[in-house]
Structure 1
Amino acid sequence: MNPFISISSGAYNGHPLHVAFEEVAKIGGTHLELIFIHGFSNPFEESYFCEANAAEVRQLYKSSGLQCGAFAAHMDLSTAQSVSQFIARMDFAKSIGAHFMITYAAPMDKEVEFYKNMEVFVRHAEEINLIIAFENPGDGKRNIIDAARSGAEVIKRLGSDYVKFNYDFGNLMSHFREDILPEEDFLHVINDTVHLHVKDSRKIKSGWEFPAIGKGDIDFRYIFRELKDRAIDLPLCLEVPVTMTRDVYGIPKMAEVPPTLDEIAKTLKDSLDYTRDITGRS
């Protein structure tokens, strides 16, 4: 897999989807990761995940010159309705050219239901050749996968090449109130990780904010040195949620007035330049 650098569409919450494609292309991006998560992205209905909309998205990729690496549509995988909903998301991801389907797992008290549903999802992932990549959450609520160790345990139990990990560095900071740091944690699941969410985090009085990559509290230079020393070169997405903060409990709060497109462009361009510098990627 080409170790691409992608940019999350989440930075453009509050703007039409086509704007994200146009703006990422303008700042020299090569890949755009779409995010569809209730409460974290522009509102949507489950009926959105259909072939007609997938065709429109494919056209946006083609006209902008961008590519799709991963598709982020996190949800609770333990409910009865999540079977049909997640299958639809997986099919949508495959149709728009994604290699990875990124999601959370499920609340800790829904373990039985989660593993039952995962039997269906793993079979479907194998059928359509799409990797399910679990992500560690950031809201402070107990999840079947909270961090690297629990992620590695779930992946081992499921035992499929189509179930791997997407590590989110910024999420760990708020999820554990910085009692566990990503610089130490991520290596516990690195052998099962196929994709990274590079999200910086900065502690503020009201909780956490998410600045340009390299402007927060996470030592990404150290992280990428560790990866280089292990000859690990993974595709990644710059997830810079400029419209979101988290409170002291990790609960997200969306900005009432989103930044201007010029402000978003500067934050993302600074993030892209910094990441290219520390990874040596073009």
Structure 2
Amino acid sequence: MKNLQQIVPALQQAGCQLLIENGGDYNYDAFALTHEGEQLLRDVNASSIAFNGDASNMASLRPEADAIGELLQMLPNMRHCSIKDVAKRDHEYRFPAIGQGLLDYGAGDAGALNTQSSLSEACAGQSNVRR
């Protein structure tokens, strides 16, 4: 936390945002679930820190979580996301083609990620969203 707070003035001066990705490795994660990341943002209290969301990381680190639902909850504080699938084989996680792993980006509430236009609508108002 202290390291993030120390870098905030330099980020603000440069007009940059540091994007923190939710962890996928037990040894190197700042946060795994959305509420943990939101607490980190509250603790740092700087608009120059935001999320890079990754549902596959979440599925590998916290398999009990609804990874797509968590990713959708991150949207207000997310400036980038990694969309990939994940599968577990012999105690190791692999990243197959989308649709061949554990994540279903097109089902139920995850339908918001089903098309580029609906993702753009969900991110409306964020200046760096590419359409």
Aligned to 1:116: 2
Larger radius of gyration: 1
Q: Measure the CA separation in 1 of the matches of 2:82 and 2:34.
A: 14
| Candidates 78, 81, 86, aligned match of 1:193 | 78
The aligned runs of 1:78-89 (5 Å cut-off) are: none
Aligned to 2:39: 153
Matched, 1:221 2:78: no
Deviation at 1:118, TM superposition (A): 1.6
* Structure 1: runs of 5+ lacking an equivalent: 1-114, 237-280
Secondary structure at 2:65's aligned position in 1?
coil
Counterpart amino acid of 1:175?
L
Give CA-to-partner distance per residue, 1:209-229, whole Å, 9 cap, x none: 111223222111246622538
Q: Measure the CA separation in 2 of the matches of 1:204 and 1:117.
A: 36
Give CA-to-partner distance per residue, 1:57-76, whole Å, 9 cap, x none: xxxxxxxxxxxxxxxxxxxx
Counterpart amino acid of 2:54?
D
Counterpart amino acid of 1:125?
L
Contact 2:20–2:50 (Cα < 8 Å) also in 1:
yes
Matched, 1:212 2:97: yes
Deviation at 1:230, TM superposition (A): 9.1
The aligned runs of 1:167-182 (5 Å cut-off) are: 167-176=53-62, 178-182=63-67
Q: Measure the CA separation in 2 of the matches of 1:143 and 1:211.
A: 22
Counterpart amino acid of 2:17?
I
Q: State the TM-score, normalized to the length of structure 1.
A: 0.39
Distance 1:143 1:206, change over 3 A: closer
Q: Measure the CA separation in 2 of the matches of 1:157 and 1:182.
A: 24
Q: State the TM-score, normalized to the length of structure 2.
A: 0.77
Aligned to 1:135: 21
Aligned to 2:121: 231
Aligned to 1:125: 11
Give CA-to-partner distance per residue, 1:80-129, whole Å, 9 cap, x none: xxxxxxxxxxxxxxxxxxxxxxxxxxxxxxxxxxx222222111111111
Matched, 1:166 2:52: yes
Q: Measure the CA separation in 1 of the matches of 2:61 and 2:27.
A: 7
Runs of 4+ in structure 1 off by over 3 angstroms are 141-144, 233-236
**How much identity, in percent, do the aligned residues show?**
22
Counterpart amino acid of 2:6?
V
Q: Measure the CA separation in 1 of the matches of 2:110 and 2:86.
A: 17
Contact 2:50–2:77 (Cα < 8 Å) also in 1:
yes
Aligned to 1:17: none
Q: Measure the CA separation in 2 of the matches of 1:212 and 1:183.
A: 16
